[in-house]
Amino acid sequence: MKEMYENLGISEKVYSFGSEIEKTLQQRFKALDEVAEYNQLKVIAAMQKHRVSAECFQTTTGYGYNDLGRDTLEEVYATCFHGEAALVRPQITCGTHALAVALSSNVRPGDEILSPVGKPYDTLEEVIGIRPSKGSLAEYGVSYRQVDLLADGSFDFDGIKNAINERTKLVTIQRSKGYDSRPTLSVERIGELISFIKGIKPDVICMVDNCYGEFVETREPLEVGADMMVGSLIKNLGGGLAPIGGYIVGTKDCIENAAYRLTSPGLGKEVGASLGMMQAFYQGLFMAPTVVNSALKTAIFAANVYEKLGFSVIPNATESRHDIIQAITFHSPEGLIKFCEGIQAAAPVDSYVTPEPWDMPGYDSEVIMAAGAFVQGSSIELSADGPLREPYTAFFQGGLTWYHGKLGILKSLQKLCDSNLVKDF
């Protein structure tokens, strides 16, 4: 084994350091394996219930009327995640699009959207109109209110109560911290929040941005009272196989609204050819529990490696996980760059290229990104990025297999060692 790692440029010192840390994680990995096993059974049971067959992988073109594969897949999603209905389509281009469809289809002019968990993910600012943008909900007369989490990360229940009014139509709850520094919400905490909100206004629609959270726990947001959960198929639920797509699962009413918005009033879910995507969507969902398990092992391994070396890591080495994102702070541009170079060098695709910081549109400093992925932009595959400014934090996520994730982290450490950025360990 040591020799195999050596062939890939990992020194004995780095290998041994990683192996010692891995040994301490066996209990946690076992607990993760149980969550994956549970979720695997959940997926298989849903597929069997809806009699998934080889015909479901047939493609349709044109209008896509009576697309058996598409309709069955949506039933599988609805059952698997405890919704009444689902929309799972290649025509949903990404997570932001899925969220934009779910939001905009379920509010009307004069309504208000409330975020009780602070600022939403960057791209949603333009969807809602927090940052002015053409076609934002603000332009359609939908207002927005936000209640931040308290300093200790808890919900500001008084603030939320005061913010809910006769116009509040939809509450948007982001499960993952995304690239923010607040804690990620467990499904249990999401449930507490929803109960509180529905206690004040029972008919308000509670939507959960579920990106990066799927299959991290055994329960999902619809099981604790949410009306919709929304996400991207090039993250967790695509299992690394879906080349595009997004999903919305929820109540019949919410999904009908979303379908009328995604295609057209009157047409809804009846149109939308599946264009040969179905096998990847089914198989991706089937693989997703073990893929998420690998990504979680990779994140926990990284937190333990880098915390032991004295870097600050969020989440820390021991805390429980509710999404697959890991942040590591280097406090130096070289540290961040070398880390990303290591992730890139471990990739199965494009391992020979060196990531360079660049002026990415929409950012106020240079950004470096590492990704050697089968699906472009896929962030369930091992990938890392970070802005070149204090405190020089790398955000990374993914890993289709734990062994690749482990190699990526060891390679990043090797790069840091080779540049004398870490010495004594």
- CB closer to ligand PLP, 62 vs 362: 362
Contact 386, 368 (CB under 8 A): yes
How far apart are CB 323 and ligand PLP at their closest, in Å? 8
Residue 406 CA to residue 297 CA, distance in Å, equals: 8
Contact 115, 172 (CB under 8 A): yes
The strand ranges marked E within 147-268 are 168-174, 205-209, 228-232, 246-250
- CB closer to ligand PLP, 52 vs 101: 101
- CB closer to ligand PLP, 298 vs 304: 298
Residue 113 CA to residue 204 CA, distance in Å, equals: 10
Contact 74, 259 (CB under 8 A): no
| Strand-strand pairing, 228-232 and 205-209 | parallel
What is the layout of strands, in order, in the sheet containing 312-314? Answer: 312-314, 326-329, 393-397, 383-387, 367-371
Residue 311 CA to residue 288 CA, distance in Å, equals: 30
- CB closer to ligand PLP, 171 vs 337: 171
How far apart are CB 49 and ligand PLP at their closest, in Å? 29
How far apart are CB 377 and ligand PLP at their closest, in Å? 8
**Residue 371: CB partners within 8 Å, gap ≥ 6?**
343, 344, 347, 350, 377, 378, 379, 381, 382, 383, 384, 385
Lookup result for tokens 């499960």: 175
- CB closer to ligand PLP, 262 vs 422: 262
How far apart are CB 401 and ligand PLP at their closest, in Å? 21
Contact 394, 303 (CB under 8 A): no
Contact 121, 209 (CB under 8 A): yes
How far apart are CB 400 and ligand PLP at their closest, in Å? 17
Count Cβ atoms below 10 Å from residue 316 Cβ, excluding itself. Answer: 10
How far apart are CB 141 and ligand PLP at their closest, in Å? 24
How far apart are CB 239 and ligand PLP at their closest, in Å? 15
How far apart are CB 223 and ligand PLP at their closest, in Å? 19
Q: Which residue is nearest to ligand PLP (CB)?
A: 95
Residue 223 CA to residue 208 CA, distance in Å, equals: 12
The site for ligand PLP (CB under 6 A) is made up of 94-96, 121, 123, 174, 176, 178, 209, 211-212, 232
- CB closer to ligand PLP, 121 vs 402: 121
- CB closer to ligand PLP, 177 vs 415: 177
On the question of a cis peptide bond just before residue 109, with omega within 30 degrees of 0, the verdict is: no
Contact 18, 409 (CB under 8 A): yes
- CB closer to ligand PLP, 79 vs 236: 236
- CB closer to ligand PLP, 103 vs 211: 211
How far apart are CB 58 and ligand PLP at their closest, in Å? 27
